[in-house]
Amino acid sequence: MAERAGLAAPLCSEQFGSRAARGCCAAADGRLQWEAWGGLSEAFKAKPEGRDGGAGGTPGPASPRASRLLAVFLPQGFPESVSPDYLPYQLWDSVQAFASSLSGSLATHAVLLGIGVGNAQASVSAATATWLVKDSTGMLGRIVFAWWKGSKLDCNAKQWRLFADILNDVAMFLEIMAPMDSIGFTVIICISNLAKCIVSVAGGATRAALTMHQARRNNMADVSAKDSSQETLVNLAGLLISLLLLPLVSDSPSFNLGCFFLLTALHIYANYRAVRALVIETLNEGRLWLVLKHFLQRGEVLDPTSANQMEPLWTGFWPSLSLSLGVPLHRLISSSGHRGSLDNATKDTQEGGLPGQLQKVAKRWDRCVRSEGEYFKGG
């Protein structure tokens, strides 16, 4: 309390979500002093260029050098300005990006070798034609895939993110194997580039959806920019390692393939851990199906964390939901898994009528949701 004695009236306050607001006061020596989220306070020197005086997130005893380093790679206001799953997702995403960077170097080396780089008998015109056909195939594939699946990438961002990275590994495997078949080389790299263009569409669209999920203070641009900085740093590290790795594998195809399989295993595992770390608080078809099924079977509403952990991570592994208007009640609950609910509904209907039963179900759902203390948002 003595600390507050030398402070003037609060200049402003900020509040995030359901947390209590924290205030900012001017100390006697002219410094700005923010209250920490826990109620304590930390003083710091105001920075005129900062939107909130340079406070960023929760004040702490970090050194100026560490604070500057964090400001380069983390969004302003971290961790309060992003979702709780931001840090575990970004850590695993960095691991998968590093493995993908090394695998990409091996694949690029194989493609250049197949085109004829370093071969005196290779034709420049033939190499150029092969490259143009490869790019044209990828451009057409990009347009078709965006038209075909573009509307599904938002709601199933985790599934398509994992699909894109696995497809990228398949594409790089084709590129590594392409030089072994000189006759079908052009066809193979065209298929590979087609897959990579699909990856770019799916990966870019799902990255935008996940950025929207992670940004909690209307800071999508900042979160996206810092994600790009993190990826650039990881790719730079992968480039340096590739410079050391390529001379070792250039003369040994078997060692090259072994390194690729090892990096691919790491890449897929890191991607799986990354998307599993996400706790998306909106309902897509898969999560809605899980929530409704769990409620009908146990009378409880799944919290977002449990629903995300139970959600399948491969597209097409959950039943597609269809809406039908005017369907009789007996058809809605005629499946074998819900016959118990139908029997209970029949008994309660005899006691209080169908409207009374529906009212009981509605009250039960509302009571379960309130007891969880967390709400899913439809999306």
Q: Is 240 helix (H, G, I), strand (E, B) or coil?
A: helix
Q: How many CB atoms lie within 10 A of CB 59?
A: 19
At position 172, the amino acid (one-letter code) is M
How many of the other CB atoms lie within 10 Å of CB of 282?
16
pLDDT confidence tier of residue 30, bands split at 50, 70 and 90: confident
Per mean pLDDT, which range of 13-17, 29-33, 54-58, 310-314 is the poorest? 54-58
Q: Give the relative orientation of helices 339-372 and 285-298 as an angle to the nearest 10 degrees.
A: 110
User: What is the reported pLDDT for 118?
Assistant: 66
Q: Cα-Cα-Cα-Cα dihedral of 198, 199, 205, 209, to 10°?
A: 140
Can you give the pTM of this predicted structure? 0.73
Query: Mean pLDDT over all residues of the chain?
Result: 80
Cβ–Cβ under 8 Å, residues 260 and 176: yes
CA distance linking residue 207 with residue 196, whole number of Å? 16
* DSSP assignment letter at 17: T
Report CA torsion sign: 92, 94, 97, 98.
negative
The predicted pLDDT at position 210 comes to 95
Contact 321, 289 (CB under 8 A): yes
CA separation (Å) from 88 to 65, 214, 224, 240?
A: 23, 12, 16, 25
Tokens of 226: 């810092």
Top-confidence range, 15-29, 290-304, 341-355: 290-304
Report whether pLDDT(242) > 90. yes
**pLDDT band at residue 177 using 50, 70 and 90 as cut-offs:** very high
Closest CA to 377 of 212, 187, 148, 173: 212
Task: Retrieve residue 316's tokens.
Answer: 């097409």
* Predicted pLDDT of residue 55: 42
Of 82, 50, 88, nearest to 68 (Cα)? 50
pLDDT, one tens digit per residue, over 32-90 is: 777 765 443 333 333 333 334 444 444 444 567 777 878 899 998 888 899 999 999 99
Q: Residues with Cβ < 8 Å from 226, sequence gap 6 or more? A: 73, 74, 75
Local structure of 26: helix, strand or coil: strand
Q: Which of 42-51, 283-292, 340-349 has the lowest mean pLDDT?
A: 42-51
DSSP letter, residue 79:
T
Q: How far is CA 340 from CA 256, 298, 345, 349, in A?
A: 58, 11, 8, 14
Q: Rounded CA gap, 176 and 259, in Å?
A: 11
Tokens representing 65 are 């050098």
Higher pLDDT, 127 or 37: 127
